[in-house]
Each structure stands twice: as structure tokens, then as C-alpha cells.
Chain A
Amino acid sequence: MRTIQPHLQAIAYASIAALALLALLSSHWWAGELAGQMQFDARLLPPSTAHWLGTDALGRELWARTLAGLGLSFWVGCLAALLGTAIALSLAILAMLSPRLDALVQLLIDTLLSVPHLILLLLIAFALGGGLHAVIIAVATTHWPSLARVLRAELLQLRQAPYIGISRALGKSQGFIVLHHFLPHALPHCLVGALLLFPHAILHEAALTFLGVGLSPSQPAIGILLADAMRYLSGGYWWLGVFPGLGLLLMVLSIERTATLLRRALSP
């Protein structure tokens, strides 16, 4: 029986993802201008050869707006995921140091997890006055608890491993053990955690923007596009909602898939 080797599959996947990423990240330069350009003689046109994904109510090209929106979302997702992971990792390591700190960290995790996600998100973004930085901070500060909980459990289990005790008996300091035993063990989990956090961050960025406390309406974010599309949906202008939504879905799914592959590859 011939099957594609799993490692080749992973490589193929990674190269496709890298290509898509490149297109997204560079979209700002070659589609950014087009995304804001209004053509008043071409308003609300359905997809055709001239207008690939159709145009919106102000005659702007939807494909350019979708790409630019995805690019923007990607940045927001990246920053929020990184920030959230950093918070989770530092708290998990803090929890290792003493039982009292551990109790404190756990209390924090439980408190944050018990409050509904979106409400907290809205409150923080609102308090920070909206805009790009508010979205990133709000998403990061609400998304770390589940990852912190996983990391803490992982490290607690590791602390019981004989080789940690042996390292201590061989005269290694707490700092050495954290740096050379705990951190290398936690990093792959962090990487996967960050990648899994990423789609969440993007979705919530879109949600916040959709609800009006996120990015400003002039920026071509996916949330803005979708909010816009809502107004025209009853008029039968389906492409306004379908294409940005599909783009978002594809991006989220492909990142999720990459994370799954990565987790499989990294677990020894």
C-alpha cells in the first residue's frame, strides 16, 4: 500500500501555508490602495471577470478589501496570541516557585474563566477606548487563562519527574532548573498554544470590530466588512458577506490544522 509519508505531508502543508502567508502580509502594499478606492459607477456589482469578488456599496473592490482585512487580522492575531502566551507562560512558571504563588495564579485563572469571555472583552476594549491597541490588549488579557492552566498542569507533572529531583541533587539551582528543564519543556506547548490561540484572537477581533468597539470603520478589517455586509444582506447582496467570511474561515482552519500537525511533530 502506498501512502504519502507524513513528514512530506507536513512539508507540503507548511510550504502552502508560507505562500498564503506571504500573499497576506504583502497585500498591504499591492491591495491596500485599491481597498480604499471608491468607484461610484461600479457600486454593489456581483462577482464578474472585471470585479473578481464584486464591489461594495461605495464601489470598492471586495477582493482587495478581503485580502487587506485578512492581512490586518493576521497582525492583530499574531500580536494578541504572542502577548497572551507570554502572560500564560510567566504565570505558569511563577506558580511553580511556591505553593502560595500557585494558589494565587489559580485564583486568577479561575476568576477570569468564570466571567463570560465576550463581556470581559467588550469591557476592556471599551475602557481602553477602542482602536488597534485596545483590541490586541483586550484579546491578549482575556485569552491566556486556558493556556496558563494547561502549562501549569504540564509543569506540575514535570516537577514530579525523577530527573528534576536528580538535577537538584546534583547541585543545580532553581534558576537553572527553570531555564534548562522547565522552559524547554514548556516551549513546544507554548508554540502550539499560541497557534491555537491565534484563530480565537482573529475571531474575537472581528467580533469586537463588528460590535463597534474595535478598529475604526475606515480600516478594512474583516469585522468591518462583515458588519457592512449585514446591512445589505436583505437586499440580496450575498457576496459582501460570503467572501470575507469564507476568507476568515479558511485562514482560521489552516492555522488550526498547522497547529495540529506541529503538535504531532513536536511530541516525542
Chain B
Amino acid sequence: MLEACQIDFAFTAQPPLLKSVSMGVNAGEWVGLSGDSGAGKSTLGQLLAGYYLPHSGRVVVDGEKLPSRGIKPVQWLPQSPELAVNPRWRVSRVLNEAWMPPDALCRAFGIKPDWLNRLPGSLSGGELQRICVLRALAPGVRYLIADEISTMLDPITQVELWQALKAEAQTRRLGVLVISHDTALIKRLCSRHYHLKRGQLEDC
């Protein structure tokens, strides 16, 4: 289980963003997180993935602290795939940064072999986002934080991405936190749903 226990967080010289937030995502569970812009959804997601350290409280993954070295069991997927890949690396190198996904999985995510030798700038947002999602599914990863990953995509690409991820998450019992302000999407994907409001979580 991925847990946040009583997390407080604020950026330097700014009012507190998260006030004793507690939440959990079970293995194999899909949980939604919505909230107004600026409410700290992304920050909470990044805290869970170890990008920031909480001022007080802890993030616990399956009973242990997040490791400071090595591959993190919780991976954060940001909204814009263009910023999430090194523009100078070829797509194959980006995809294989942490592991070599098997061909069958590449096909399941709709990744075409001829993309691999190109530079990220020549792929569309939807194509790049598939690469980013697959890159994060390395062995040892047990939880995903999907931070608005389908906001910039057209409906068909969006559905294809979620379906591929859903299938893979099911076979590996991945826990997924879906951050989005699209409640219809969250209802489709998740069994449970938190709403972040003024730094505190509400169950929906």
C-alpha cells in the first residue's frame, strides 16, 4: 500500500499548501484525485513519488520508506510528455532508460518500431505520452502517479492509452493514482476518489 501519513507541505516563503493530508492507494487499486488548480494536486503526487520531502509526516510504500537511491517503487508521470524526455535523445534511448520493455508490451501500448530511431520532437504528444508511460513501468515499480497525463490528448488516443495501462496494471497489480480535474474520467477509471480542497482531502 502507498500511504501518505499526516503530510504537511509548503513551498519556501509561501503559505502552507497541504495540511496534514493522509491518504492511501492499495496494490492493484485505481484511485482518483481531483481539485481546483493550485490546490496542490501535483505537489501531493510529487511528494508521494519522492520528488519533495514533506515538512512533517511520512510517505510509506508497502511498510517502508521511499528509497533514496535506485529505482523508486512510485513513479510520477507529468502532464506534458514533451518536457519529460530529453529532446536530444533518440526515442529508443528514452524508452530504455530504466528497462527494455518486451515487444509485446510495446505493441500493446501502440508504439510503432519506426518511432524508435527518431527524436522526440518529431513525435506527437500522444505518441510521446505512451513512451513515457511505458518507460515508467520498469520492474520494481509498484505504484504510478498519473498527473493529468491525458489532458492534452484527443479522445481516441486517451482511451487507447488508458486501456493499455489498465491491462498492464491488472496483470502486475499496480496501484494507480489518477490526478485529473475531469471527474467523468475519474469515475470511469477509479473505484474511489479524493478531492483536494484548501490543502485538505475529502472523500467522494
Closest to A188 in B: B88
User: How far is it, in angstroms, between the C-alpha of A184 and the C-alpha of B90 when the chains are bound?
Assistant: 13
- Cβ–Cβ < 8 Å partners of A162 in chain B: 78, 80, 83-84
Partner of B76, one of A161, A166, A167, A181: A166
In the complex, are the beta carbons of A169 and B83 less than 8 A apart? Answer: no
Complex interface bits, B76-89 against A, C-beta within 8 A gives 1, otherwise 0: 10101001111110
Q: B70 at the A/B interface (Cβ < 8 Å)?
A: yes
In the complex, are the beta carbons of A170 and B138 less than 8 A apart? Answer: yes
In the complex, are the beta carbons of A161 and B83 less than 8 A apart? Answer: yes
- Cβ–Cβ < 8 Å partners of A161 in chain B: 83
In the complex, are the beta carbons of A169 and B121 less than 8 A apart? Answer: no
A60 to chain B, nearest CB (A): 51
- Cβ–Cβ < 8 Å partners of A166 in chain B: 75-76, 78, 84, 135-136
Interface residues in A23-61 (C-beta closer than 8 Å to B): none
CB-CB under 8 A for A171 and B85, given A162-B78, A165-B51, A268-B121 = no
User: How far is it, in angstroms, between the C-alpha of A184 and the C-alpha of B119 when the chains are bound?
Assistant: 14
- Cβ–Cβ < 8 Å partners of A171 in chain B: 69-72, 98
Q: B97 at the A/B interface (Cβ < 8 Å)?
A: yes
Q: B125 at the A/B interface (Cβ < 8 Å)?
A: no
Complex interface bits, A200-237 against B, C-beta within 8 A gives 1, otherwise 0: 00000000000000000000000000000000000000
- Cβ–Cβ < 8 Å partners of A185 in chain B: 86, 88
Q: A163 at the A/B interface (Cβ < 8 Å)?
A: yes
Q: A172 at the A/B interface (Cβ < 8 Å)?
A: yes
Complex interface bits, A159-187 against B, C-beta within 8 A gives 1, otherwise 0: 00111011101111000000001001100
**How many residues from B make CB contacts under 8 Å with A?**
24
Closest to A161 in B: B83
A-B contact count (CB 8 A): 49
A211 to chain B, nearest CB (A): 43
**How many residues from A make CB contacts under 8 Å with B?**
14
B98 to chain A, nearest CB (A): 4
Closest to A164 in B: B86
User: How far is it, in angstroms, between the C-alpha of A171 and the C-alpha of B67 when the chains are bound?
Assistant: 10
Complex interface bits, B170-203 against A, C-beta within 8 A gives 1, otherwise 0: 0000000000000000000000000000000000
- Cβ–Cβ < 8 Å partners of B69 in chain A: 171
A77 to chain B, nearest CB (A): 28
- Cβ–Cβ < 8 Å partners of A172 in chain B: 97-98
- Cβ–Cβ < 8 Å partners of B7 in chain A: none
- Cβ–Cβ < 8 Å partners of B83 in chain A: 161-163
User: How far is it, in angstroms, between the C-alpha of A191 and the C-alpha of B70 when the chains are bound?
Assistant: 34
B61 to chain A, nearest CB (A): 13
- Cβ–Cβ < 8 Å partners of B71 in chain A: 169-171
CB-CB under 8 A for A169 and B75, given A163-B84, A185-B88 = yes
- Cβ–Cβ < 8 Å partners of B86 in chain A: 163, 181, 184-185
Complex interface bits, B36-78 against A, C-beta within 8 A gives 1, otherwise 0: 0000000000000111000000000000000001111001101
Closest to B50 in A: A169
B147 to chain A, nearest CB (A): 10
- Cβ–Cβ < 8 Å partners of A167 in chain B: 97
A24 to chain B, nearest CB (A): 33
In the complex, are the beta carbons of B75 and A184 less than 8 A apart? Answer: no
Partner of B51, one of A169, A170, A184: A169
Closest to A172 in B: B97
B91 to chain A, nearest CB (A): 13
Apart from A162-B80, A185-B88, what are 14 other A-B pairs with CB-CB below 8 Å?
Answer: A161-B83, A165-B51, A169-B49, A169-B72, A170-B72, A170-B97, A170-B135, A171-B71, A171-B72, A172-B97, A172-B98, A184-B88, A268-B87, A268-B88
8 nearest A-B pairs in the assembled complex, by CB-CB distance: A171-B71, A170-B98, A171-B70, A169-B72, A162-B84, A162-B83, A162-B78, A163-B84
